Amino acid sequence: MYIPRDAENSLQSLAKGFPVVAVTGPRQSGKSTLVRKVFPQKPYVTLEDLDVRRFAQDDPRGFFASYPDGAILDEVQRVPQLFSYLQKIVDHSKKMGQFILTGSQQFGLSQAISQSLAGRVAFIQLLPFSFPELSRVKLLDSFFHHSLFKGFYPPVYDRDLSPSIWYANYVRTYLERDVRQMIQVRDLSGFQRFIKLCAAHTGQLVNFSTLANDCGITHNTARAWISILEASYIVYLLIPHHENFNKRLIKTPKLYFLDSGLAAHLLGAETADQIMYHPLRGALFESMIVAELLKSCYNNAQKAPLYFWRDRTGNEIDILIEHALKLDPVEIKSGQTINPDYFKMLIKWSGLAGKRAGNAVLIYGGDQHQKRTTARILPWYDAHKAMEHPTF
């Protein structure tokens, strides 16, 4: 069963204005399924196929001659020499939406495109399913800890497999395949320990020294490995907002896993019920909501205007959403009952920010919508609505 994706309209729109559109995202996020659904008339070519890859490498002119009207090129970063030929083709034909590219390695694909196809290509980042996508087909569980544990990768929803089995194989495939292609990891078990440690630090400030010491690696290696996880859409680094509002700021980014199911698996959770009592429940919930806000932006082909704010005394706002001259503060709480304490930091920060303070939002683990004088309250499954900028 195909589950309609929110990125479909953005993909169609961009293909009308750019000769090339690139869809990037983690492996198994549904990139190939999406582009084949939106462009059914285009030939689909995967560079994962060894014979196809050799053809493209050995005879790029002959390869492109096979697709005079364009094509979908899957995992195109595997043959980087194609990009210079692609530039000449689209410059000559001047057709919009001629080639659709997909790739699961953000940095490699972006670097190759910036060198050869600058100004000719539009990007869409596709993460796993969003809450609205699953809700429309009645696949979003009404209890957040069930959805958090299951995660949002498409195969978890269209295959008769337990999440634990699928994620175990995803990690194994990722370690043995993608990582070896991107960096030389001699100790794969050490890298797996590193990923699990990162999962234990989701929702926290990145501390490269701690990660390095706990894994027995150097500080630079820890930075390199985080970059690889970021390039592969496993983690996301949320940067702090630069305005201090009369306070000394923390300048270190925060680490978030982009899929809560993967993070829960790495932390050893075996059932959804274990999430409710897990010591990292709040951090996992926060990661899930941050990923949802990112999906809302990415599916509309927009850059995510998301930051956090934290001073050196520990005062913190989980998310700041930048809307023009305003900053909307967002607090994320996994509790299912609204607690007056949830609003304290929102009120304090709004006072510090003054005219820059926008509409405060509380996203929590319950199911009530409310509009209070201090904040707009959203249930977890409507987290994407925090990206809207209502006036009230």
Q: What pLDDT does 392 receive?
A: 41
Question: Would you say residue 280 has pLDDT above 80?
Answer: yes
| The last residue of a domain, from among 99, 125, 151 | 125
Q: What pLDDT does 301 receive?
A: 94
- Is residue 2 domain-resident? no
- Is residue 299 domain-resident? no
| The last residue of a domain, from among 292, 320, 339 | 292
Contact 262, 232 (CB under 8 A): no
- Is residue 37 domain-resident? yes
| 336-to-78, 275, 365, 377, 384 alpha-carbon distances in Å | 46, 14, 5, 12, 18
What DSSP element (H or E) covers 349? helix 344-353
Q: Say yes or no: 22 and 102 in one domain.
A: yes
For residues 170-178, average pLDDT: 80
Task: Grade residue 107 by pLDDT with cuts at 50, 70 and 90.
Answer: low
Q: Say yes or no: 136 and 282 in one domain.
A: yes
Query: 3-state DSSP call for residue 240?
Result: strand
Q: Say yes or no: 176 and 280 in one domain.
A: yes
- Is residue 298 domain-resident? no
CA–CA gap between residue 168 and residue 162 (Å, rounded): 10
DSSP assignment, residue 187? -
Give the lowest-confidence range in 108-117, 164-173, 278-287: 108-117
For residues 76-97, average pLDDT: 91
CA–CA gap between residue 315 and residue 214 (Å, rounded): 27
CA–CA gap between residue 7 and residue 319 (Å, rounded): 23
- Is residue 297 domain-resident? no
Q: Say yes or no: 335 and 353 in one domain.
A: yes
Q: Say yes or no: 95 and 222 in one domain.
A: no
Q: Say yes or no: 34 and 135 in one domain.
A: no
User: pTM for this structure?
Assistant: 0.94
Q: Say yes or no: 252 and 114 in one domain.
A: no
Classify strands 326-333 and 361-364 as parallel, antiparallel or unpaired.
parallel
Q: Say yes or no: 242 and 188 in one domain.
A: yes
Give the lowest-confidence range in 10-24, 233-247, 249-263, 365-379: 233-247
Contact 4, 132 (CB under 8 A): no
CB contact set of 381 (below 8 Å; sequence gap of 6+): 131, 135, 140, 144, 367
Q: Say yes or no: 139 and 287 in one domain.
A: yes
Q: Say yes or no: 317 and 274 in one domain.
A: no
CB contact set of 211 (below 8 Å; sequence gap of 6+): 194, 197, 198, 201, 222, 226
pLDDT tens-digit readout, 185-202: 666 777 888 999 999 999
Question: Would you say residue 345 has pLDDT above 70?
Answer: yes
CB contact set of 49 (below 8 Å; sequence gap of 6+): none
| The last residue of a domain, from among 102, 125, 148 | 125
- Which structural domain, as residue segments, surrounds residue 343? 306-387
* Phi then psi dihedrals of residue 67, to 5 deg: -130, 70
Q: What is the CATH number of the domain that holds 189?
A: 1.10.10.10
Question: Would you say residue 38 has pLDDT above 90?
Answer: yes
Q: Say yes or no: 273 and 162 in one domain.
A: yes
Q: Say yes or no: 277 and 158 in one domain.
A: yes
Q: How many CB atoms lie within 10 A of CB 155?
A: 16
Task: Grade residue 180 by pLDDT with cuts at 50, 70 and 90.
Answer: low
Name the β-bridge partners of 255.
204, 237
pLDDT tens-digit readout, 219-268: 998 998 899 899 889 999 999 998 777 667 778 999 999 999 999 999 99
